[in-house]
Amino acid sequence: MPLHPIPSVLLETERISARIRELAEAIERDYPPDEHIHLVGVLKGAFVFIADLARHMTSRVTMDFIAVSSYGKDTRTSGEVRLLKDLDTGIEGRHVIIVEDIVDTGLTLTYLTEVLRARGPKSLRTVCLLSKPSRRQVPVEVDYVGFQIDDHFVVGYGLDYAEIYRNLPYIGVLQD
Ligand code: IMP
């Protein structure tokens, strides 16, 4: 097995946990207490974030997953989004929140928002753990943002570089 360099810490575990707790509280304040919230995690990157977010929520929460990929193997998104795995259940009439790991160019979230909105949810919101506003190619509104970061390629906490580092318990930056 080749050795991989250890990324330097950008956001440590405790800071991420505290922020996710705040995001869960902010989300729950915005919905009537008896409403049911349907979280849609975007695979693969959001799997750690959605697990933590959901465990801080006390409302009735259900979860489903969708998988997309952008063409190309570069560390940068290449502009086209493909649906790799659709949701298991319909979302018509439900309060849906798309849970994303990071919003970079904004293409993935724009695509997903359009696809899901066309299915007639009762409401549709978005939450992301990280956002890199300086990289946007399309303007996209994210309802709840964990951290805004500068233009670094980050890994850990679900985020990968060539499928490695998803299990890092912090958000790190790969050195050149
Ligand atoms: P967007 O469509 O450009 O907004 O990109 C969203 C997707 O690109 C994310 O869900 C990630 O899978 C991937 N991505 C963007 N920036 C990074 C990064 O810094 N590290 C790891 N993956 C990233």
* Residue where the block lists tokens 């899901």: 116
Q: What is the pLDDT of residue 6?
A: 85
Residue nearest to atom 19 of ligand 1 (CA): 153
Tell me what percent of the chain is helix, strand and coil, each rounded to the nearest 5.
25, 35, 45
d(CA 34, ligand 1 centre) in Å: 34
Strand partners, 97: 39, 125
Residue 1 inside a domain? The answer is no
Q: What is the pLDDT of residue 54?
A: 98
Q: What is the pLDDT of residue 3?
A: 62
Residue 127 inside a domain? The answer is yes
Q: What is the pLDDT of residue 73?
A: 46
Domain of residue 161: give its range. 8-173
Name residues whose C-beta falls within 8 Å of residue 33's C-beta, 6 or more positions apart in sequence.
59
| pTM for this entry | 0.94
Residues of the chain with pLDDT under 70: 1-3, 71-79, 176
Give how many domains the chain has, as a whole number.
1
Residue 2 inside a domain? The answer is no
Catalytic site includes residue 176: no
The CA-atom distances, in angstroms, between 158 and each of 59, 138, 169, 170 are: 24, 24, 9, 9
The CA-atom distances, in angstroms, between 152 and each of 55, 68, 86, 104, 155 are: 28, 22, 30, 10, 10
